[in-house]
Amino acid sequence: MADERQETESGESLFETPPMAEQERMVEAMLFATAEPVTVAELATRMPHGCDPAEALAHLRRRYEGRGVHVVKVGDAWAMRTAPDLGYLMHRETVETRKLSRAAIETLAIIAYHQPVTRAEIEEIRGVSVSRGTVDQLIEMEWIRFGRRKMTPGRPVTFVVTQGFLDHFGLESARDLPGLGELRSAGLLDNRPPPGSLPQMGEGEDDDEDGATPEGQSELFED
């Protein structure tokens, strides 16, 4: 026990760090068995002392290049996903696609492209009020969430897209957003001719809150 205590106090591990090939296998096993994306920090807590999950991920990602399954980055986490060109093999005929309303699609697009954005700013861009039901639906789907509060009068909350949104569309970050073609192929947008501009897209929604002019880009936020 004294020898073990001396080794521990000196900062040396009592166990030898697994070779990188074994670390790669560990990461592969965890990603394969986990439905939700996993961060590097989460991988590190499960691996033996001295392991480098980030390096193991880099090796694993290269090994899966060109395979039927890819190691992809989703926000700040990692996951194993079917190669995009083989996605058609995973379709199930029993799945019924649930289309979002036109208002929900517009609201989601504004949040994705302008996040963090307040309800007043969404209404300013759309030109109409945003119903509570639309926002609640997107939150229930776990595609948007509450962000930081703005350090402006009233300290309004903001909305941002979630990791689930990025994962659904196979995005690494919100910078790689789907266009109209991707939305239509996912069954979330019909084939009606697009309107000339975004502010005229929504019609007839009611809400309790009044719109407000969005502040400048240099506004401060608080957590």
pTM to 2 decimals?
0.47
Residue 179: inside a domain, yes or no?
yes
The answer to whether residues 76 and 106 belong to one domain is no
pLDDT, position 117: 92
* Domain termination residue (choose one: 46, 62, 88): 88
Residue-wise pLDDT tens digits, 116-144: 999 999 999 888 888 888 899 999 998 99
Q: Is 215 helix (H, G, I), strand (E, B) or coil?
A: coil
CA distances from 15 to 4, 54, 56, 158 (A): 11, 20, 19, 47
Residue 67: inside a domain, yes or no?
yes
Residue 43: inside a domain, yes or no?
yes
The answer to whether residues 120 and 206 belong to one domain is yes
Residue-wise pLDDT tens digits, 5-25: 444 444 455 578 899 999 999
Residue 187: inside a domain, yes or no?
yes
Question: Among 91-100, 163-172, 203-212, which is the least confidently predicted range?
Answer: 203-212
The answer to whether residues 123 and 193 belong to one domain is yes
Residue-wise pLDDT tens digits, 69-89: 999 999 899 999 988 888 888
Are the CB atoms for 162 and 169 separated by under 8 Å? no
* Domain termination residue (choose one: 29, 59, 88): 88
> What range defines the domain where residue 58 resides?
19-88
Residue 36: inside a domain, yes or no?
yes
Question: Among 40-44, 85-89, 151-155, 194-198, which is the least confidently predicted range?
Answer: 194-198
The answer to whether residues 177 and 128 belong to one domain is yes
Q: Residue 63: which CATH number?
A: 1.10.10.10
Evaluate if residue 165 carries a pLDDT over 70: yes
* Domain termination residue (choose one: 62, 88, 114): 88
Count of structural domains, the chain: 2
Evaluate if residue 213 carries a pLDDT over 60: no
CA 67 to CA 23: how far, in whole Å?
A: 20
> How big is the chain, counted in residues?
223
CA 157 to CA 221: how far, in whole Å?
A: 10
Q: Give me the chain's average pLDDT, please.
A: 77
The answer to whether residues 106 and 190 belong to one domain is yes
Q: State what percent of residues in the chain have pLDDT above 70.
A: 70
The answer to whether residues 59 and 135 belong to one domain is no
